[in-house]
A and B are shown apart, each in its own frame.
Chain A
Amino acid sequence: DQQVKQNSPSLSVQEGRISILNCDYTNSMFDYFLWYKKYPAEGPTFLISISSIKDKNEDGRFTVFLNKSAKHLSLHIVPSQPGDSAVYFCAASGAGTYKYIFGTGTRLKVLA
């Protein structure tokens, strides 16, 4: 059973517009969520995180929103740039554990 789901395998966005990547989870014990970006032939790079005590965290062009009641989080990138083209993974972990459960990823393509 996939506890962390990214239902959109791919997304295309025009440069300068907003990219919204979505992630759903099923385990209510998850309390820390992260987004990673992965380029081909490289390991995942940490992007932004959010604790369950917050509903929003912002870092430059990247904002993560958390809706605990819906068990849903989203990553907003604005404005999108061609260099943002990559696979984005969301991940979740539970209290007192450093184990991540990853989603299957969404491939973002930002068109110039």
Chain B
Amino acid sequence: SAVISQKPSRDICQRGTSLTIQCQVDSQVTMMFWYRQQPGQSLTLIATANQGSEATYESGFVIDKFPISRPNLTFSTLTVSNMSPEDSSIYLCSVREDGSSYNEQFFGPGTRLTVL
């Protein structure tokens, strides 16, 4: 399975600032996703990161708040903009391997964000 790394692994940020999270995959993948897990909650899909075009956002998530870049097939970034304490979550990227006949996604280790 694909090996996924994320940077930073954790951060503590001040209200009103922005943080960019990086996701690196060791192989080329077409489908890459960003999730959020708020404390005590399930994982929620934020958006699908599309290479060479704008990300596709889920209901409740907007590009101004969570801009996403996908410059190539192995890398993506998620920015959490103008942060508030409600943005304190674990942010995870995941990929679906190209050519897989199954629907499994593989997840990175996550970025734990605390907003003060």
List residues of A whose CB falls within 8 A of some B CB. Answer: 2, 4, 32, 34, 36, 41-46, 49, 89, 91, 93, 98-100, 102-105
* From B1, B4, B103, contact of A34 by CB (8 A): B103
What's the count of A-B pairs with C-beta under 8 Å? 54
Q: Known interface pairs A4-B42, A43-B92, A89-B42. Does A100 touch B108 (Cβ–Cβ under 8 Å)?
A: no
Query: Interface of B with A (CB < 8 Å)?
Result: 1, 4, 9, 31, 33, 40-45, 48, 58, 92, 94, 96, 102-110, 112
Contacting pair A46 B104 (CB below 8 A)? yes
B96/A89 in contact, CB under 8 A: no
Contact indicator A100/B109 (Cβ below 8 Å)? no
Which of A32, A91, A99, A104 contacts B41, CB < 8 Å?
A104
Residues of A close to B104: CB separation below 8 A? 34, 46, 49
Partner of A93, one of B41, B44, B103, B106: B103
